[in-house]
Structure 1
């Protein structure tokens, strides 16, 4: 595998703090703060947040600037120039080759500089700022049946500035090419302060600009000289393939390409200029599309058949292998969707577009019919309009699905996105597979097969000297295989540091000198993203891990069994894919949706926790206040556990951190008031009317709100008589016994839900038993990290439920957050207690139990529309399928809102400092939908917190599923 004469040596990882090695950092920060109107952050937490991107690399920056506008960018560049400080422009931080991290001052455009002008449907153009998210552009363009053709899998959060920097592409490269093919002009700021707009340049215009002199004339003159000197070499040495992304686009300066300076700068990864704006070229967007899935024996045979499928002119042709599907199944991701794929271990997805659905269908049928006469005809399936998005979701989930696989660990980039001619694809993949076998590596294969670009993530060992040297030799030899097939080292994600040092293999010494000259034209002092792409640091330098990686491994309350018992390993799951930065759908990550801050994204929190375990940038270990600040706005919604491609579980990480943070430290009063709410609720249930009156009294109630830091617009939830006390003398009836869990919220606040569930279970023919004492799962305790108390609660529950656990009785839980404790936290806190596993397996939501264990149950008919808001824990831990199935069986028209987190999240929405975030989340989808539908629809929400958010902001009275089933219409 690794030759004893390897020319490589292990280089130390970049575990240096750039802020500390830049002597004038303090003065630089001071001057930036004085003049920049946006945000200037040189604190340890901000530098830790931006120390890595989605690559293997880590370089702690000098500081961060979040500019408000172009003036702020100009000011920042001017001040950095005074201090000779390097600069890195950054989009969403999802770069995979290391170009998104550097020991520099980082410009983050995503928070404020994210605007766009109106679409010009005649010219088919739109002007945008660099921080605009791609999907916002596509949404605007689709109103005119246009689109921006490049559409990487990160389209929900990647920024156009980042796409221009990396020359991104995506699924529909066959339809519209790469980013470089869709740029009309760029507005630039150079490190020396020069501003210019560049694009296609006629011969006359070029001569005029040169004659005009000055810095701009000098730039155009040098570019012309560069073109004339290297034109023939560019023509002969640049591979003629659809996905050549490596190197600078010197071919765009050729006369036949119109001396297009804007397109020459696409893919320069921020090494030449700061992009202030871009005018994008839009293309027709087929309004009718049909997807065909084709299954082959393996991925190599699938690749062999790409040229034949291309003859049918699809607008997208993607491939993926069986290993990808195995990874998704092992993580229980999109399991139902996987069943839509045809039989095989290698798959091609061909999409066809048309002016009408009939036309798109006919093109898809043309391929399907052609397949039937192929030797060893592959299995094929034409998807319906409802099925196609589900199949595309499998493909879009590939990067995250392969980044971390339980039992296998992390799949690292490194040899990630090489591209060859599609006709060479099968041979190339077999060559890489043989090399992987030699080195003992494994990797799924997926990507843009129609353009010969394949993504991989290997199980590289990046923590030992031997492993790192093997990694370095592997990518060297993989490069030789790609080049032997006439390919490009990068076909989509850029060179950065992962492939920059390999470029001489591809282009040779003369073109490498041309690249250096191109860089010097724009940035002679090498201050823009230095050490990337050209004269790049070595691929095995500046590693996030490295042979010197020795994270802090403290004892933890949770077992972290899938992460070898290590919180550091758990945080390392996050490889920076950034799915938590989407703001338009799903539940993850609510605090980022509200603030737009990396600090309050799942990725940001995971990176901070990893840095805390690393122990170099963030001090004070568990007592670190910046980590606490980041976790403070985490709503513990658990959405990341299901929506994050690598299943980062921030709710658990937060509880673990807070448990240690407050150890030996006095807790705020509200921790006890909210965390032990079951005790106060039990006491209040003896005289609920009196307690409610006291809470509503202006003076006493106001004083309590002030004492507990509750926002003045929040009212206390109303206590009620305990359902258990009400049912003390009731006789159980029915045949099969089930146990109805009396959670704190429904027992002491919403007993009507308990009554309804009791009645429903009895009507389904079950004998219903109830707790004989006050029990609580301790759900609120986790919000404050009160884990020792939480363990006591759980042990008490296990003791009390001993008869039910021994008998295997189903335990029906009405509150989703309580069910999630038994399904999740219980076995993580008590991994060695066999009773914990039993309780987990015997716990059911009402909907789950009725759908799967009550075959004779028929729900009542409901003559109304039902609007459903799913509790975050319900979605994340159990899924909404059974609830929706049951409600639809009532005959009602049922709509499940894509409302994400309601924003209340237990005590979160009551707190003064979090009220604004809470309301922002509620107003995103949930409250407008409730106000719109409340008079003519039943609002169903099973979560106590969700109901509180609705009732405290509207006149609606939401119902639990049990109440709908008990009451019918």
Structure 2
């Protein structure tokens, strides 16, 4: 029998069927009374059942208000039905405060406005759903900033930051969110509206004298201040990162009785924030970053106090385990080389009005570090290098969440903070406890303020493992408190640490906290059982001892996920990087719609819930899951940009394969999925087929039959590329043919993909010329072959396997000989580099083809070191195909183009929106055009006439030509320009 004082409590699975009895009536009334969106359907509940934490609560429903009137009406109706309410921002909370059995208000879609910046007072008014980076980008134009900047800055909302009292990298420069709030506009559950901020004694007296609900609030707050001032001063840790508990210290006279700041960090348990006035700070325009390497993270932590004397504005730490995790995930390989030698790293940023000033501060620190007995290594970075180093640090959470070969790292004890002078001692003590329990976690975080983040390999699926986790939490709490620390230094208490707060504050202050909570929320309807009177940390787990998902038979192997589709979808830990809209490719459909349903995270949560069978019915036949996946463009960006490498393109194919088992498919699936068959037939008489396809009446009928949007035009078929025919017709090529190749000239196999061979043979022709000129004997397929790329878009995986087996059989001689296979179309190359080994994991030829497949740029860089491209004076504008970026990367292509001497610019254009058949489909046309017009099409329309436009993806080129008069070129065509007859010119 266990001697633990704890017991395993009911998990979320045991209570998944609990329902709110009046949900249907509440939803109907909400739909009648608000302009916003009311979603009480199973999929919406599944989407919002968890955040980025270990916890899972099925909500009553979701409301997406358009304005304050919607919020007021929603609260009024919820009060009528006694329904609890949870306000949610970006859904990235780590302590469980972002999920509850409540009506969830999501402000991020509509209530995300921002007023004009008041430069004189350095303030700006915002709505709660605005994303932090929008505020910071606007402020930076005026050399101002909102100082708190957590790693989730590209998608976290201001409302969520206020709820959690977020901070981030530059806490040294401007403090936590609480230090940067001027006023808050509030709505209470009982309907009370008030604006709060700092309060003078005369204002306090007047507010109390006014009576009513407002008078009651101020009178009780004054009583709390007067009763507990001594306790607050004694028990609240005097450290930079105390986030745990309520901010009763803000009611003290020395803090101006600031009610707004007292409510920061209350995690939605007291009031609804309708608006906030933010205090901005000056942003140093010039910055210099220094990297410091110590033998271990403990020595690095020991030296934090001395380094703080140099007055940095940012001060982060990372250990070697974090870097090992990134290497295992094959992420940031180039960036990691920028770190100095060592196994414990500090990243220190200095700011100033001029670059020489910032550089001087950095050099002074470097000189000081040379005098230390620990002999750390240092490196001062250029601005470009600094961006790469910051990328490493910002990706730390995702890097530790899932590590191949190690498993999932869970939150729980991920956020404690101590005084920086105690940091080395604290880390050694917590590391010893981890060793005792057999836990492992990288250590990283805001070392300059003593805040350390971790994610441990807790066992949250067995009774023994859960009890062990709970015991560890208790003992880790003791260690943090022994070092004068706080249980939370940034992420809040929520459910992860709420039940531990009595150990930190004592019963008297806990009574004060409960009084504070009940003052604003007497009926406990605002995010109940979080932070105050919280459920236990080992209760309501997303997993739990009764976790028993469905493990269906699958087409793909999912080798990195124990062969389990359920485990694959467990990868997503809610980091929310797929909700960014400002850069990169992931997630294009979310960028277009702003819907959680269309984010990678949303889809992963739906598929995970589908494997539970508790909220979402019908398994593979579920229509709402299919609806979510329908707008997935299968861009693969999530596999590279998602910190935990969620592979939604593969999951979509898997789902669709089973969804249509035994069912008839739409005609368009066969027309698009088997396009290689029709392209081959059309190639016998392409001019005739093109004439028929573009006859108005026939074209209109075909578009209706295939559900193609009327604005799209059919791509034109061509005769396939045949080297001998072209050489015979072109005297110049005949001269090239007589270029003497050595008898032992190496062979390269040029893959004749469907798109370039039957639609764009000029690229095939140019690639043949380039490879021949580079000194290679080029061979081509002797039969019709296709990788089957379009089949994956429709889940036609059995047919895809047949295509791949045919390909492997045909290429067996080349595979055995080690012949490089050069592929021009990135989406086809990605089949061989990705889907192939996942579909045919036990065929050794599959791995060979994976290893021997190269894009043209990769091949020339890696296998033709003496090759020199033609010299060009023009500017080159490059749009990278999604699969190119995600699976192979753009480095080799850009390097090769820059060897031409041209001015090369890679557009941060994300997905073009065409994505094979996606952009042709009638119901997806709007999304397709929205994505194309985000960056790509404006850049194309604004380019100079002489600028060469390069994109290797057939779909990308098609999107451009269908919307502009521009004629994009494949890399091969650019390299064939002015090509000399010298094989190595």
TM over 0.5: yes
Question: Is this contact kept in 1: 2:14–2:546, CA < 8 A?
Answer: no
Aligned mate of 1:532, from 530, 533, 546? 530
The aligned residue for residue 738 of structure 1 is 748
Q: SS at the partner of 1:952? A: helix
- Looking at structure 1, the residues matched to 606 and 846 of structure 2 have their Cα atoms a distance apart, in angstroms, of 31
CA-to-partner distance for each residue in 1:479-520, whole Å, 9 max, x for gaps? 000000000000000000000000000000000000000001
Question: Is this contact kept in 2: 1:92–1:110, CA < 8 A?
Answer: yes
- Looking at structure 1, the residues matched to 706 and 439 of structure 2 have their Cα atoms a distance apart, in angstroms, of 55
- Looking at structure 2, the residues matched to 418 and 534 of structure 1 have their Cα atoms a distance apart, in angstroms, of 18
The aligned residue for residue 413 of structure 1 is 411
Provide closer, same or farther for how the CA distance between residues 726 and 185 of structure 1 changes in structure 2, counting only shifts above 3 A: farther
- Looking at structure 2, the residues matched to 930 and 370 of structure 1 have their Cα atoms a distance apart, in angstroms, of 51
Aligned mate of 2:689, from 687, 691, 697? 691
- Looking at structure 1, the residues matched to 125 and 426 of structure 2 have their Cα atoms a distance apart, in angstroms, of 39
Deviation at 1:967, TM superposition (A): 1.1
CA-to-partner distance for each residue in 1:47-72, whole Å, 9 max, x for gaps? 00000000000000000000000000
Aligned mate of 2:775, from 754, 765, 775? 765
The aligned residue for residue 21 of structure 1 is 19
Question: Is this contact kept in 2: 1:724–1:770, CA < 8 A?
Answer: no
Provide closer, same or farther for how the CA distance between residues 203 and 18 of structure 1 changes in structure 2, counting only shifts above 3 A: farther
Q: Does 1:924 align with 2:922?
A: no
Deviation at 1:4, TM superposition (A): 4.0
- Looking at structure 2, the residues matched to 9 and 842 of structure 1 have their Cα atoms a distance apart, in angstroms, of 55
Question: Is this contact kept in 1: 2:16–2:614, CA < 8 A?
Answer: no
Q: Does 1:587 align with 2:581?
A: no
Deviation at 1:724, TM superposition (A): 4.0
Q: Equivalences for 1:650-665 in 2 at 5 Å? A: 650-665=648-663
Q: SS at the partner of 2:327? A: helix
Aligned mate of 1:871, from 881, 885, 893? 881
The aligned residue for residue 437 of structure 1 is 435
Q: Equivalences for 1:317-466 in 2 at 5 Å? A: 317-466=315-464
Provide closer, same or farther for how the CA distance between residues 556 and 726 of structure 1 changes in structure 2, counting only shifts above 3 A: farther
Gaps of 5+ in 1: none
Provide closer, same or farther for how the CA distance between residues 620 and 934 of structure 1 changes in structure 2, counting only shifts above 3 A: farther
Q: Does 1:516 align with 2:514?
A: yes
Aligned mate of 1:955, from 965, 974, 981? 965
Deviation at 1:376, TM superposition (A): 2.8
- Looking at structure 1, the residues matched to 725 and 421 of structure 2 have their Cα atoms a distance apart, in angstroms, of 74
Aligned mate of 2:494, from 493, 496, 504? 496
- Looking at structure 2, the residues matched to 737 and 12 of structure 1 have their Cα atoms a distance apart, in angstroms, of 64
The aligned residue for residue 887 of structure 1 is 897
Aligned mate of 1:82, from 69, 80, 98? 80
Q: SS at the partner of 1:967? A: coil
The aligned residue for residue 249 of structure 1 is 247
Question: Is this contact kept in 1: 2:723–2:765, CA < 8 A?
Answer: no
CA-to-partner distance for each residue in 1:218-261, whole Å, 9 max, x for gaps? 11111111111111110111000000000000000011110000
Q: SS at the partner of 2:904? A: strand
The aligned residue for residue 844 of structure 2 is 834
The aligned residue for residue 217 of structure 1 is 215
The aligned residue for residue 676 of structure 1 is 674
Q: Does 1:666 align with 2:664?
A: yes
Deviation at 1:729, TM superposition (A): 9.3
Q: SS at the partner of 2:905? A: strand
Question: Is this contact kept in 2: 1:19–1:62, CA < 8 A?
Answer: no
The aligned residue for residue 731 of structure 2 is none
RMSD of the alignment, in Å? 1.1
Question: Is this contact kept in 2: 1:183–1:281, CA < 8 A?
Answer: yes
Q: SS at the partner of 1:722? A: coil
Question: Is this contact kept in 1: 2:78–2:84, CA < 8 A?
Answer: yes
- Looking at structure 1, the residues matched to 58 and 539 of structure 2 have their Cα atoms a distance apart, in angstroms, of 14
CA-to-partner distance for each residue in 1:274-308, whole Å, 9 max, x for gaps? 00000000000000000000000000000000001
- Looking at structure 2, the residues matched to 80 and 10 of structure 1 have their Cα atoms a distance apart, in angstroms, of 32
TM-score by length of structure 1 reads 0.99
TM-score by length of structure 2 reads 0.97
CA-to-partner distance for each residue in 1:810-835, whole Å, 9 max, x for gaps? 00000000000000000000000000
Q: Does 1:854 align with 2:864?
A: yes
Q: SS at the partner of 1:153? A: coil
Q: SS at the partner of 1:45? A: helix
- Looking at structure 2, the residues matched to 926 and 515 of structure 1 have their Cα atoms a distance apart, in angstroms, of 53
- Looking at structure 2, the residues matched to 873 and 803 of structure 1 have their Cα atoms a distance apart, in angstroms, of 27
- Looking at structure 1, the residues matched to 724 and 535 of structure 2 have their Cα atoms a distance apart, in angstroms, of 72
- Looking at structure 2, the residues matched to 18 and 129 of structure 1 have their Cα atoms a distance apart, in angstroms, of 33
Q: SS at the partner of 2:933? A: helix
Aligned mate of 2:925, from 915, 934, 940? 915
- Looking at structure 1, the residues matched to 100 and 561 of structure 2 have their Cα atoms a distance apart, in angstroms, of 29
Aligned mate of 1:609, from 585, 604, 607? 607
Question: Is this contact kept in 2: 1:288–1:357, CA < 8 A?
Answer: yes
- Looking at structure 1, the residues matched to 59 and 967 of structure 2 have their Cα atoms a distance apart, in angstroms, of 51
Question: Is this contact kept in 1: 2:549–2:566, CA < 8 A?
Answer: yes
- Looking at structure 2, the residues matched to 22 and 902 of structure 1 have their Cα atoms a distance apart, in angstroms, of 43
Q: Does 1:797 align with 2:807?
A: yes
Provide closer, same or farther for how the CA distance between residues 128 and 968 of structure 1 changes in structure 2, counting only shifts above 3 A: farther
Deviation at 1:395, TM superposition (A): 0.3
The aligned residue for residue 733 of structure 2 is none
Question: Is this contact kept in 1: 2:876–2:947, CA < 8 A?
Answer: yes
Deviation at 1:17, TM superposition (A): 6.2
Deviation at 1:915, TM superposition (A): 0.3
Q: Does 1:753 align with 2:763?
A: yes
Gaps of 5+ in 2: 729-736, 980-985
- Looking at structure 2, the residues matched to 625 and 430 of structure 1 have their Cα atoms a distance apart, in angstroms, of 52
- Looking at structure 1, the residues matched to 305 and 643 of structure 2 have their Cα atoms a distance apart, in angstroms, of 32
Q: Does 1:629 align with 2:627?
A: yes
Aligned mate of 1:567, from 565, 585, 588? 565
Alignment size in residue pairs: 967
Q: Does 1:647 align with 2:633?
A: no
Q: Does 1:822 align with 2:832?
A: yes
Question: Is this contact kept in 2: 1:47–1:64, CA < 8 A?
Answer: yes
